[in-house]
Amino acid sequence: MSSVIQPNDNGVLLETRVVSPQFLVKIESFSSLSKHGIQKYESKEFSAGGYKWKLIIYPNGRDSGDNDYISVYLSTAGKTSPSTFFEVNAMFSILLYNHHLDHYVYSPGRVCRFHTAKSQWGFSKFISKKCFKDPSNGYLVDDNCVFGADVLFLSPQRVIESLSVIKDACPKKYIWEVSELSKVDGALRSEVFSAGGCKWKVELHPKGDSREKGQSVSAFVYCVDFASYEKVKALISIQITNQLNDKHISSRGSPWFIPLHPGCGWSKFCSIVDMEDSRKGLVVNDTCILEAQVTVLATVEKDEKKQEKEEEEEEEEEEEEVKGVFV
């Protein structure tokens, strides 16, 4: 059983336990630190989760406003990877031994993200010097004290999202001649075409999709093969060519395509009334000409493990995908 104690009015709420921590540092003649001008003591390195760690103890507080407290921090001391950037999530506790009661007071587990720009976390007001130095409390006995640390390694992480912005993006145009429109009640899907290293197709609903059934023609562009990409940003446009004059109908947008939502487009692309009006020129001899243009603007590569997992999930997905819609 642990209990909660309040060692000072402004310090950390500490709990107690009898189990020893992963790492212990014993400081003999604690008062000599200040006498000799040692404002920061760094412990030797210890290992946890494949990383090196160390305790940093400030006997008179780390910052000017913490002079009445002892500050204690956990810091990364090294990493196994030679990369210039690293990141690791860890749950840690800082402990202090009570010589009289033979137990430890400790800070409840705190989860923090240690990385290159922020390599240490801890408590600027871990315990007040008044409470710490009071002989009756048992933390400093014969000028000796024992601090400790526990580190629970959660998961290593790296910056895995690599965004590539394509400088010389080239548009790819696909022309689709759709015949016998009057016989179509559901969706029509084009052949697959390539653009920007990905494969695409166009989906046309002459009578409208589920949202616009009987009201509007709906049109969508799908990315059907992401290859090694996690996300793809593309400028897309769809045009139904006017076969009598230059009054074409078109829409464009620049969405992100992801495997979970691979299709984007327009439920209200144009009205069915206009589409079926022979005088408008959009349909001639029951045939329309649809032009789709895709320009891949940027891609985000996927890491291998995530790719393998997504491939497994894709096998279990239903054929019908969720659409993104421009409004």
Dist. CA 265–CA 238, nearest whole Å? 9
Range 306-312, long-range pairs (CB < 8 A, 24+ positions): 306/160, 306/230, 307/228, 307/230, 310/259
State the Cα–Cα distance between residues 250 and 246, nearest whole angstrom: 12
Residue ranges per structural domain of the chain: 4-157, 162-303+321-325
pTM given for the model: 0.50
The values of phi and psi at residue 33, to 5°, are -60, -50
β partners of residue 41 = 57
Cα distance between residue 309 and residue 230, in whole Å = 12
pLDDT in tens, the chain (327 residues): 344 454 444 556 788 999 999 999 999 989 988 888 889 999 998 888 778 899 999 999 998 888 999 999 999 886 544 334 567 888 899 999 999 999 999 988 888 888 878 889 999 999 999 999 999 999 999 999 999 999 887 655 444 566 788 888 889 999 999 999 989 889 999 999 999 889 999 999 999 999 999 999 999 999 998 777 888 999 999 999 999 999 999 999 999 999 888 999 999 999 999 999 989 999 999 999 999 999 999 988 876 545 555 555 555 544 444 444 544
Protein fold of 4-157: 2.60.210
Q: What is the CATH number of domain 162-303+321-325?
A: 2.60.210.10
Q: How far apart are CA 113 and CA 111, in angstroms?
A: 7
